[in-house]
A and B are shown apart, each in its own frame.
Chain A
Amino acid sequence: MSAATLESFLAELDRLRADSEAAVAAARDAAAVEAARVEFAGAKSGRLKAIQKALGGLAAADKPAGGRHFNEAKAAVTELLAAAQARLAVAAAAGPPIDVTLPGSAVPLGHLHPITQTIRRVQEIMGRLGFESVDGPEVEDQWHNFEALAIPAEHPARDPLDNFYLAVARGADPLLLRSQTSTVQIRVMEARRPPLRIVSLGRVYRPDTADATHYPMFHQVEGLLVEPGTTMAHLKSVLRLFASSFLGGDVHVRFRPSFFPFTEPSVEVDMEWGGRWVEMGGAGMVDPAVLAAVGYDPAEVSGFAFGLGVERIAARRYGVADIRDFYRNDVRFLRQF
């Protein structure tokens, strides 16, 4: 190389650095990295060696600056090559290629029961609407299961053949397995003052012969809202928000008149599901007699209540044709949820 100016010397250094970076980046294996090392840092004819010779050709005043830049470039290239070699060494130590279709290490994952999943979904949606989940006893007395719910002693619903009465009683008060989760609503209303928004949920019991659509033990979710000025429009709007969240899309609800002792007016609730009206449960305005039974003034507050049969919803949601399957506890069934 002939005598050079500092400017061309530095330009040559810049080129070298750029070329070395490109070469290392392109190197996919040890041979390519070695070829780059020979090209740039080779002891005999590497490009660094050649530039080092050109350093001697610089004017004396330029030599300190040229030397400093040369040393920087040399260090950078050396480091670049060392890093590339280290990277390849790690890769080489990671083991031979594998059959990527071999199975992964099994992660044991459990499954919540579909009934629980359905209840949780309802709780979650109702929670967003301000309804708190509450819990209560399953062994109940006459007051909470019947009387406070405006079901008097002579009502057919209290017939011994239609309930699971316990052999033990509390004094003269027969006890039974609750036939509805409305019992919890009574307990909460007795303990608190309005405003109130709750969902009560859990197991209930009625002596039905087990078949594809009946089981003597099943689950209910019941909602209750008691606030001044509550109307059926609030009931319908809450159920529509629920239906739209649960089923997805803009779902409409339909009320058909019905009869329950503890609500007045009472309705059956249909929701549009899969292009047709599906009966989802019962609802209505809390009967003034129920409000009075828990010590509320029906002139001051009103409320609504609704109940959903969890098994029925879950069966439809998951395509379960026989609700007894929910209680067989076959893990081949449970693991699908």
Chain B
Amino acid sequence: MILSKQWLADYVDLPASTAELAERLALAGLNHESTAETGADAAIEIEVTSNRPDCLGHIGVAREVGVLYGRPLRIPDPRPVETAAEPRRRLTVDIAAGDICPFYSARVLRGVRIGPSPPWLVERLRTVGMASVNNVVDVTNYVMLETGQPLHAFDLAKIRGARIVVRRAVAGEPFEAINHKTYALDERMCVIADGERPVALAGVMGGADTEISAATTDVLLESAQFAPLPVRAAARGLVLASGSSYRFERGPDPAMVDWASRRAAALILEVAGGALERGPVEAGRLACAPAEIPLRSGRVADVLGCDVPQARQREILVGLGFVDTATSPDSTTWRAPSWRRDCWREIDLVEEIARIEGYDRVPEDVAIAARPVEWSAREMAVRRAGEVFIGAGLCEALTRSVVSEALESVASPWGDAPPLTIRPALVRGADRLRRTLLPSLLEARGGNAAVGTDDADLFEIARAYVARPAGSSDAASSPVEEPLLASCVVGGDYFRAKGLAEAILGRLGVDAHATVEWRPVACALLTQGRAAEIVLHRDGAAERVGIVGEVAAATLEAAALTGPVAAAELRLDRLDGVIARERALERPSDFPAVERDVNLVVAESVPWSEVAAAIRGGAGGLLERLRLVQVWQDAERLGVGSKSLVVSLRLRSDSGTLSGDAAAAAVDNIVAECSRRTGATLRA
């Protein structure tokens, strides 16, 4: 909303400084956007929140100024001279849809001379950014900007059948607007029709055929109330927003519907001549039911934390147009003014008093009692995973939650359901909620490679979105599951990605409650045979909590990347139940350790995990550390189908120094257990 300072001064005495006025209005809720000096006048642009349609006209803003500075208002009382002719004899107005148009009034002026507006009118409109059209149209715009009540002037000679009907549009009904574009309407919209066809899109824009032209002599002046929804449906649906639709979407003051009509008629007579017929032709009833609101005497202090004297509270409310209807020692009942339908509860009155009194009155140094705060397991999991990633040299990426089909065409490790879609797209082409973060991270790595950074190791901790199977028990509460994923894409092989995953699982301490198994997995993103799923075993149940592997060649190619690149993705939401918040100390042994290297030969098909389990099982609690030193195969020396595993064992007892014999016995036991479980033999 752009204000003309001179125009505002018609209704209230202003402070000399425009900057001070703008600042004061801003601190009372009319945010200041800019001020432009225009000759003798100044254009002050303010931002009006959607609850304050009263300030979409100069009079409403003048009222605010009056209250803020304690100055009286000067509102004119337009009484245009009327002829004896009664328009209702020759014109009928009907409302067919009272829910979307509660009230409609039409005044008729005859013998009007259309021409340019006088300089004062042109100047005022220009100051507030509106071009002059002709004297009659300018008056309707002027009065809208004065009162916030939109008006429309029709060329009465073009109205067919001498009637006005306000009705819902018929689906597909064509309408040519003043901008000479033709629109197909739908039944959510409201039209003003004459005897034959729509002549205006109610509250939004007039029609081309009935607009005021140089040849117009008789004018039908509309002033009405339209409901917000049909106006919004038309303005947004047809991309046809106007100053009129903007105001009707917010609700102009019902008490100004007739005032604005009389004001416009008087101004038309002044600038365009002609004669006004007696009284308006009306249909419907003005919807106006101001609220009666009790305000308890201590309430303002209870909300604000500082007191505003009763007399001052009264002064503010009276200045804003509230009327005292009942007073008791403890409370006063106020009737809201017709232009403040946003005020209907006690808390609304408190806000009015606060914003006029000024929020600088509210203390900023009251004591706040201390309270305990605990980190949630989820928060802890997110932080610990992030620590591992940045400790390992990865940078955190933030990629979009919604991706294009190209990124979502691969299967997700987290569910078979097709991706969920949104409308509109987040950005062009991206309308699918992602089911894994890995394609986005690969794309980001590719973007880095394209600008010459081919070693961008990235991680992200974010949600994915997976449709739950219809009919499942969880689907009733929410049809969408949101796995919280900690994912990374790094240069290197399977083992680099696995090392990161292991470090996170270790940092979360999942081994205190569960065991982790790495199983070969088939996953379209990853190379077959060089990828694993991470399975968590707990309380007899097993579930997938992660995947890790080398990124498949086709996937790399699609992301314009050259390998090797590895990836890992962990479901933190499945891990926060097993993370160790704190662990009891395991006191390190004071006795010396014994180091032994053992070279075991097993069949190639035996996985390391089985050998490691056998070693641990055979060690009888003496094994402090197990390290795999080397894996090698040599058909000549080991035979075909065998492999050698060189392991380094650190044995230590926490009850005494381990003797050479005891250590040897432990190693023998370990080898025996490996032999029993995996068929391993000791290589000399």
Interface residues of A (CB under 8 A from B): 108-113, 115-116, 127, 129-135, 137-139, 141, 154, 156, 159-161, 164-170, 175-177, 195, 197, 203, 205, 207, 210, 216-217, 231-234, 236-238, 240-241, 252-259, 264-268, 285, 287-288, 302, 326-332, 334-335
Chain B 364-406 interface mask (CB, 8 Å, partner A; 1/0): 1111111111111011000000100111111111111110000
The residue on B at minimum CB distance from A203 is B401
Return chain A residues, CB-CB under 8 Å to B467. Answer: 168
Whether A331 lies near B453 (C-beta < 8 A) is yes
The residue on B at minimum CB distance from A252 is B364
Taking the closest CB of chain B, its distance from the CB of A37, in whole angstroms, is 38
Whether A109 lies near B393 (C-beta < 8 A) is yes
Return chain A residues, CB-CB under 8 Å to B52. Answer: 259
Which of B51, B303, B364 sits near A236, CB closer than 8 Å? B364
Taking the closest CB of chain A, its distance from the CB of B345, in whole angstroms, is 7
Return chain B residues, CB-CB under 8 Å to A159. Answer: 232, 236
The residue on B at minimum CB distance from A159 is B236
Which of A154, A165, A207, A259 sits near B50, CB closer than 8 Å? A259
A257 to B370, CA, bound (A): 29
A335 to B458, CA, bound (A): 11
Whether B348 lies near A112 (C-beta < 8 A) is no
CB-defined A-B contacts under 8 Å, sample of 25: A110-B394, A112-B390, A113-B396, A127-B373, A133-B375, A133-B379, A135-B376, A139-B480, A141-B478, A168-B480, A203-B462, A217-B426, A232-B304, A233-B364, A236-B305, A255-B359, A255-B360, A264-B351, A265-B303, A287-B347, A302-B303, A326-B398, A329-B444, A330-B451, A334-B397
* B421 interfacial contact with A, CB 8 Å: yes
Task: Given A109-B390, A329-B399, A334-B397, decide whether A170 and B478 contact each other with a Cβ distance below 8 A.
Answer: yes
A252 to B459, CA, bound (A): 38
Query: 9 additional contacts, CB 8 Å, given A131-B373, A166-B480, A256-B359?
Result: A110-B457, A113-B398, A132-B373, A165-B422, A167-B422, A240-B365, A329-B447, A329-B448, A335-B395
A53 to B458, CA, bound (A): 79
Interface stretch, picked from B23-31, B137-145, B194-202, B660-668, is B23-31
A266 to B347, CA, bound (A): 11
A288 to B350, CA, bound (A): 13
* B577 interfacial contact with A, CB 8 Å: no
Whether A234 lies near B305 (C-beta < 8 A) is yes
Return chain B residues, CB-CB under 8 Å to A167. Answer: 420-423
The residue on B at minimum CB distance from A333 is B395
Whether B363 lies near A170 (C-beta < 8 A) is no
Which of A176, A256, A328, A335 sits near B447, CB closer than 8 Å? A328
Whether B372 lies near A334 (C-beta < 8 A) is no
Whether A265 lies near B351 (C-beta < 8 A) is yes
Which of B51, B368, B458 sits near A237, CB closer than 8 Å? B368
* B306 interfacial contact with A, CB 8 Å: yes
Whether B423 lies near A160 (C-beta < 8 A) is yes
* B108 interfacial contact with A, CB 8 Å: no
A237 to B364, CA, bound (A): 4
Taking the closest CB of chain A, its distance from the CB of B353, in whole angstroms, is 9
A108 to B395, CA, bound (A): 10
Return chain A residues, CB-CB under 8 Å to B373. Answer: 127, 130-132, 197
Return chain B residues, CB-CB under 8 Å to A234. Answer: 305, 366, 368
The residue on B at minimum CB distance from A131 is B373
Whether A233 lies near B363 (C-beta < 8 A) is yes
Task: Given A233-B364, A254-B359, decide whether A331 and B371 contact each other with a Cβ distance below 8 A.
Answer: no
* B111 interfacial contact with A, CB 8 Å: no
Return chain A residues, CB-CB under 8 Å to B305. Answer: 231-234, 236
The residue on A at minimum CB distance from B354 is A265
A305 to B388, CA, bound (A): 34
Closest 6 CB pairs between A and B?
A233-B305, A108-B393, A231-B305, A130-B371, A110-B390, A257-B29
Whether B400 lies near A238 (C-beta < 8 A) is no
Whether B303 lies near A285 (C-beta < 8 A) is yes
| Total count of chain B residues near the partner, CB < 8 A | 86
* B243 interfacial contact with A, CB 8 Å: no
The residue on A at minimum CB distance from B488 is A110
* B45 interfacial contact with A, CB 8 Å: no
- Pair count A-B, CB < 8 A: 230
* B302 interfacial contact with A, CB 8 Å: yes
* B479 interfacial contact with A, CB 8 Å: yes
Task: Given A110-B394, A134-B376, A328-B447, decide whether A255 and B389 contact each other with a Cβ distance below 8 A.
Answer: no
Whether B397 lies near A139 (C-beta < 8 A) is no
The residue on B at minimum CB distance from A260 is B49
Taking the closest CB of chain A, its distance from the CB of B426, in whole angstroms, is 5
* B228 interfacial contact with A, CB 8 Å: yes
Whether A331 lies near B396 (C-beta < 8 A) is no
A258 to B394, CA, bound (A): 42
Taking the closest CB of chain A, its distance from the CB of B316, in whole angstroms, is 13
Whether B422 lies near A332 (C-beta < 8 A) is no
Return chain B residues, CB-CB under 8 Å to A138. Answer: 401, 463, 465, 482
Q: Which of B326-359 contact A (CB under 8 A)?
A: 345, 347-348, 350-351, 354-355, 359
A265 to B303, CA, bound (A): 9
Return chain B residues, CB-CB under 8 Å to A331. Answer: 395, 448, 453, 456, 458
Q: Which of B1-34 contact A (CB under 8 A)?
A: 26-29, 31
Whether B395 lies near A334 (C-beta < 8 A) is yes
Return chain A residues, CB-CB under 8 Å to B394. Answer: 110
The residue on B at minimum CB distance from A137 is B482
* B362 interfacial contact with A, CB 8 Å: yes
Whether A233 lies near B478 (C-beta < 8 A) is no
* B408 interfacial contact with A, CB 8 Å: no
Residue from the set A127, A130, A253, A331 with the largest chain B CB neighbour count within 10 Å? A331
Residue from the set B52, B304, B365, B422 with the largest chain A CB neighbour count within 10 Å? B422
Whether A217 lies near B402 (C-beta < 8 A) is yes
Taking the closest CB of chain B, its distance from the CB of A104, in whole angstroms, is 15
Whether A255 lies near B362 (C-beta < 8 A) is yes
The residue on B at minimum CB distance from A267 is B359
Taking the closest CB of chain A, its distance from the CB of B379, in whole angstroms, is 5
* B229 interfacial contact with A, CB 8 Å: yes
A332 to B423, CA, bound (A): 33
Taking the closest CB of chain B, its distance from the CB of A141, in whole angstroms, is 8
Whether B368 lies near A164 (C-beta < 8 A) is no
Return chain A residues, CB-CB under 8 Å to B458. Answer: 329, 331
Whether B31 lies near A256 (C-beta < 8 A) is yes
Whether A156 lies near B249 (C-beta < 8 A) is yes
Return chain B residues, CB-CB under 8 Å to A116. Answer: 386, 396, 398
Whether A237 lies near B365 (C-beta < 8 A) is yes
A189 to B268, CA, bound (A): 58
Return chain B residues, CB-CB under 8 Å to A133. Answer: 375-376, 379
* B424 interfacial contact with A, CB 8 Å: yes
Task: Given A110-B389, A231-B303, decide whether A329 and B31 contact each other with a Cβ distance below 8 A.
Answer: no
The residue on A at minimum CB distance from B395 is A334
Q: Which of B49-81 contact A (CB under 8 A)?
A: 49-52
Whether A111 lies near B396 (C-beta < 8 A) is yes
Return chain A residues, CB-CB under 8 Å to B306. Answer: 233
A111 to B393, CA, bound (A): 7
Whether B401 lies near A265 (C-beta < 8 A) is no
Taking the closest CB of chain B, its distance from the CB of A240, in whole angstroms, is 5
* B427 interfacial contact with A, CB 8 Å: yes
The residue on A at minimum CB distance from B457 is A110
Whether A257 lies near B28 (C-beta < 8 A) is yes
